C-alpha cells in the first residue's frame, strides 16, 4: 500500500505551535462517592461505517499512547473483536495521525488486504479530527456541523471508548474510570490522570495548580470546549481533557520581545482593532469560508445578510478568531448570526 497523507486546505498545526511536554507517570484519582459507570453507546440505526479517531490534533487532547500503551496490536485485536461482535457488516476506518508513522505502519500490516478495515494516515492539522472533516475526508460524505451522524450509518469512536466497549461488552467488567489529559500554563506540570467518573474538578486540581496564579479552567480545550467556574462539577465520559490557563490580566512591557511569555494564556495578545482585510481568516478556514464577510455584515448591522455567505458550513473550530491579528470576535459573531437564523 502506498504511503500517503490526506488532509484539507486551511487548518493550523496547533501541535507545533504549542508543544506541551507531558509527564509519563499516570496519576490515579478516585472519587469520594461511588463512581458512575460507562454508558455503553446505543445505536438505533444500522451502522455501516465506523471511524476510529486516532488523530488527536489538539496538543491538550489525550495522546494516543495512553490507550495504545505501545502495544498497538493488542488494541487492533480489540477493534477486531468489537467489529465482529457489534457491527459485523460495517466497515472500519482507522484514521491515524501522520505523526505516528509506526502506528500507521503496524495498522497497515494488521489490515493487510482485508476488506473490512481501511487505514488512513491523516495530517495532524487542527481541526482534522472534527466529525465533519473526518467524514468528508475518510468517506467523502457531507454532514452538517452539529448534526448526528448515526442516521447516516456513521459512527465515530475515540480509542478510549473502544477500549471501554471492549472491557464492558466483551470482558464483562464495569468501566468506572477514564484517562484525562491535564495541561496548561496554570499547572505545575502537564500530566495524564486516570480518574473515576463522577470525581469533581476541584478534587482533580487539588495540589496541581501553581500557587499565586489566577487561573481559568476549560473542559475539552480552550478552542472548542467550555469554561467552567463551578469546580464542584463532576467528570463524565464526555470529558477528554482539562486545560488550566493562567489569567494574564495585566499589562506586559515590550510584548514584541517576549512572545513566549504570553502564549497559551488567556491574554488577547494585542489590541482589538478594525478588520485590516489581511485574509488570515479565510486562509486558515478549514471549510473554505470567508469569516471577515460575517464581520463586515455584522458591523453594518445586517446580521441576516451574514447567513447568505454559506454560514451553515461553519464547524465552529474557532481558528478565525484565533488567528485574527485585529483580535475580532469572529466566532462569537458567527454563533450570534446562526442563532438569529434559528428563531425565524
Residues that bind another protein (CB under 8 A): 17, 216, 218, 222-224, 226-227, 245, 247-259, 262-280, 282-283, 290, 292-293, 296, 308-310, 316, 318-319, 321-327, 329, 331-332
Contacts within 8 Å (CB) and 24+ apart, 74-78? 75/159, 75/162, 75/163, 76/106, 76/107, 76/110, 78/162, 78/163, 78/166
Grid coordinates standing for 342? 434559528
Q: State the nearest-atom distance from the C-beta of 174 to another protein, in Å.
A: 35
DSSP 8-state assignment for residue 272? -
Residue 30 or residue 310: which is nearer to another protein going by CB? Answer: 310
Measure Cα distances from 129 to 19, 73, 103, 124 in Å: 18, 22, 17, 9
Which set of grid coordinates corresponds to residue 68?
A: 495504545
Identity of the residue, 47 or 281, whose beta carbon is nearer to another protein in the bound complex: 281
How far apart are CB 148 and another protein at their closest, in Å? Answer: 22
In the complex, minimum distance from the CB of residue 250 to another protein, in angstroms, rounded to a whole number: 5
User: With respect to another protein, which residue has the nearer C-beta, 173 or 332?
Assistant: 332
CB of 299: closest distance to another protein in angstroms? 10
As measured in angstroms, the least distance from the Cβ of 129 to another protein is 16
Q: Between the CA of residue 259 and those of 7, 256, 262, what are the distances in Å? A: 29, 6, 6
Nearer to another protein, 151 or 312 (CB): 312
CA pair distance 293, 281, nearest whole angstrom = 10
Q: Find the shortest distance in angstroms from Cβ 126 to another protein.
A: 11
CB nearer to another protein: pick between 33 and 249: 249
- Our CB check for another protein shows the closer of 167 and 261 to be 261
User: What are the DSSP calls for 84-145, one per residue?
Assistant: HHT-TTSEEEEEEETT-HHHHHHHHHHHTT-SSEEEEEE---BTTTSHHHHHHHHT-----T
Amino acid at each position: 500500500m502506498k504511503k500517503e497523507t490526506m488532509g484539507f486546505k486551511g487548518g493550523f498545526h496547533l501541535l507545533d505551535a504549542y508543544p506541551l511536554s507531558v509527564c509519563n507517570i499516570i496519576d490515579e484519582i478516585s472519587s469520594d462517592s461511588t463512581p458512575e459507570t460507562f454508558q455503553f453507546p446505543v445505536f438505533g440505526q444500522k451502522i455501516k461505517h465506523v471511524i476510529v479517531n486516532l488523530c488527536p490534533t489538539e496538543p491538550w487532547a489525550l495522546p494516543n499512547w495512553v490507550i495504545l500503551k505501545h502495544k498497538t496490536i493488542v488494541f487492533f485485536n480489540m477493534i477486531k473483536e468489537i467489529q465482529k461482535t457489534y457491527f459485523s457488516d460495517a466497515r472500519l476506518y482507522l484514521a491515524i495521525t501522520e505523526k505516528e508513522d509506526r502506528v500507521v505502519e503496524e495498522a497497515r500490516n494488521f489490515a493487510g488486504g482485508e476488506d473490512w478495515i481501511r487505514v488512513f494516515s491523516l495530517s495532524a492539522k487542527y481541526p482534522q479530527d472534527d466529525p465533519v472533516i473526518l467524514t468528508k475526508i475518510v468517506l467523502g460524505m457531507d454532514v452538517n456541523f452539529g448534526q448526528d451522524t448515526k442516521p447516516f450509518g456513521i459512527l465515530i469512536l475515540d480509542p478510549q471508548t473502544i477500549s471501554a466497549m471492549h472491557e464492558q461488552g466483551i470482558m464483562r467488567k464495569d468501566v468506572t474510570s477514564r484517562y484525562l489529559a491535564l495541561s496548561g500554563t496554570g499547572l505545575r506540570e502537564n500530566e495524564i490522570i486516570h480518574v473515576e467518573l463522577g470525581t469533581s474538578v476541584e478534587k482533580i486540581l487539588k495540589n496541581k495548580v501553581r500557587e499565586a496564579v489566577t487561573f481559568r479552567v476549560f473542559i475539552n480545550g480552550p478552542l472548542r470546549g467550555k469554561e467552567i467556574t463551578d469546580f464542584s462539577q463532576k467528570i463524565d465520559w464526555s470529558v477528554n481533557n482539562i486545560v488550566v490557563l493562567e489569567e494574564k490580566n495585566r499589562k506586559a512591557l515590550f510584548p514584541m520581545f517576549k512572545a513566549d511569555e504570553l502564549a497559551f494564556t488567556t491574554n488577547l495578545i494585542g489590541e482589538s482593532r478594525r478588520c485590516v482585510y489581511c485574509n488570515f481568516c479565510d486562509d486558515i478556514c478549514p471549510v473554505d469560508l470567508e469569516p471577515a464577510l460575517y464581520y463586515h455584515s455584522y458591523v453594518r448591522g445586517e446580521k441576516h445578510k451574514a447567513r447568505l455567505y454559506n454560514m451553515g458550513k461553519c464547524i465552529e473550530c474557532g481558528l478565525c478568531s484565533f488567528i485574527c491579528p485585529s483580535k475580532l470576535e469572529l466566532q462569537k459573531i458567527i454563533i450570534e448570526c446562526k442563532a438569529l437564523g434559528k428563531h425565524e
